[in-house]
Chain A
């Protein structure tokens, strides 16, 4: 039973140009984001990676600290602050019976953050400066995390390609890696664009989602290559025809697998907490792109002219 008959031999050009187009679009987003937007980074890195300020300070209250809503504080701050730009992306939180204030801001110089505290004091009363805890959230840690993610990803890709070279062929390893880079690049590019248009920030979960996509994409591609290798050994049809046949034989499996993986991810992004929304979105995108590249791109690259 065939759901569909994919003519990859006929459409090889189209497939490769479509992928090239997507990659170009992603690169465009990455370049635009690097050179033309306010943050000068290939992607809008969140506080996890670049750091940001988190100010935590205790209020000095005699018995009980009065109840103030974060919105009121923000409104009042707007009136007294000189630099109103900072206030656009500031987040307040009161903890410990209104005693502890925690403030999250983008990167602030020490002077700016001191100004903020002084202004805050005018609104909510004296603060205990000894309890002040105002520093960047792990810029070093974030950088360490970033380089660590990248190096371990690269080394693991090397190990995977070594395994594929041994089990299959060097050519297969190369194409599996191309498909993998294709997937990662496109997801990365989409988030670059999301950063530009919706100022979506990527956090450390995004790095994890990239690792996950890498694992998924390789697995997907290897299964199809496995089918191709099996059919090449047992069938007498032409090389290109055998590849096309193998792709069609694996088509149902690949789509079903994608669907079964997508279902929990979609429920996660629809009903899960907001903090996981972008994470599940990037995973879902990766799985869709990954299935596409496994079914169409990687086998097309294997075809002979």
Chain B
């Protein structure tokens, strides 16, 4: 008896520990349970395979950008050598995030070529016209059927095309507008000469609201060598009519002249601002992209999967309640069939539940739908173990053995079935965990943990609790253990 009391103490200790763990580390729910976005990013490399180093580099950049986005508990994993899976819990509109993440963010600084002022003026004028057209087209809601409206846009587009001596190949109007804009961007960049200052020389980026209006500007901080380069470049064009262009992913986002007062030293201090009349959202996206550094290879977001908070968690919660209600029924079933033994098994299953959840929060295991499925199966197995034992105890009691002896040999005889059943499941869990994708892993993890704990609770906790209760004389009557009709036999 002493040994059992030791176990009882141990179990109570474990229970306290589990409760403590659960209160301090609440369970982590997967995206499919609490809603959020999952993005699959494909690294694009035209020739050859993506090497491990490149994968790592892309991973690092994306990781930094995600951190700068400020999404809590995001999760980034590589998949199959050329893909990344990014989970953004709670994010319901991944478009903004994907804009900031997917951007290559290649930042260049270029100085204007000699004698191109007129060309630049003209191109900038056409650029503003095409941008205005895009804006008009975009802001017109529901009016697109109005033919006059479309014709006027088309006419104005034709005018621009004539000026540029270039005609767009896209079929739809919007595509044409975008194509022309890209062409203008390319032409503008061609008027500038590359310098050796680039996004690599940045150590930080920030944003602030301009004082004079509501626009935002993005602040760049260069490294020491970058600051020197910036000073050299600004020195070379200071006081001339040549402009400095800041180019992001092939589009000039800012063109500025440098005053003659900088002719001797250039702009020193290693700071620059880009004021391209950004909105707050634009400025943040740019800041995030620049802070993370530019991507060594372009990426494309090949899959976005958003589980809405309503679609996801509400329905799933409903399901969890349903499953929990089902477990209560199981308890009633067990008590109805096995009477006092059923009560013991309910106690041991409650322990089982707490131990499981505590381990989830300890490791931690993120709870997903496959994970819950594994948990349900493992609960089934834990109940099964109890049933196996109780059936044996009943057999022994019916043979006329004493209660203590029946309990002992019941546990002993059920032992091998339980162990065999549990180990076969454990073996397959092990394999599934090793080979499976995340999806399968979640299932294997909860099932495996459940099976291990079930070995302990069924074989040990049930026995300890039963032994504890049977020390009370009033709980030792056989009719607490056998259905009444047995006494007629």
Contact = CB atoms under 8 A, between A and B. Distances in A.
Interface of A: 1, 54, 56, 58-62, 66, 93, 95-96, 100, 102, 118, 121-122, 124-126, 128-131, 133, 135-138, 141, 144-145, 148-149, 151-153, 155-157, 159-160, 163-164, 167, 204-205, 207-209, 211-212, 214-216, 218-220, 222-223, 226-227, 230, 249, 252-253, 256-257, 259-261, 263-268, 270-276, 279, 283
Contact of A211 (B178, B398, B440): B440
7 contacts: A1-B486, A62-B139, A126-B138, A156-B429, A207-B440, A263-B330, A283-B376
Interface stretch (B14-22, B207-215, B302-310): B302-310
A223 B93 contact: no
> Interface extent on B, as a size class?
35 or more
Contacts of A230: 413, 416
B424 A260 contact: no
A27 B478 CA distance: 52
B138 A257 contact: no
B388 interface: yes
B319 A268 contact: yes
A266 B327 CA distance: 11
Interface in B336-395: 337, 369-370, 373-374, 376-377, 379-381, 383-384, 387-388, 391, 394-395
B141 A126 contact: yes
Given A122-B144, A122-B145, A208-B373, A271 B318 contact: yes
B172 interface: yes
A209 B376 CA distance: 11
B427 A267 contact: no
A126 B443 contact: no
Interface in B392-450: 394-395, 398, 413, 416-417, 420-425, 427-432, 435-437, 439-440, 443, 447
A64 to B, nearest CB: 10
Contacts of A130: 178
B95 A226 contact: no
B315 A274 contact: yes
B323 A212 contact: no
Nearest to A219: B421
A272 B319 CA distance: 4
Given A126-B141, A267-B323, A273-B316, A95 B373 contact: no
B330 A260 contact: yes
A267 B428 CA distance: 28
B65 to A, nearest CB: 18
A66 B369 CA distance: 36
A264 B303 contact: no
Contact of B93 (A95, A121, A138): A95
Contacts of A216: 377, 380
B178 to A, nearest CB: 7
A263 B373 CA distance: 14
A157 to B, nearest CB: 7
B315 A125 contact: no
A212 B374 contact: yes
Interface in B95-146: 95, 98, 137-145
Contacts of B394: 1
Nearest to A276: B319
Nearest to B416: A226
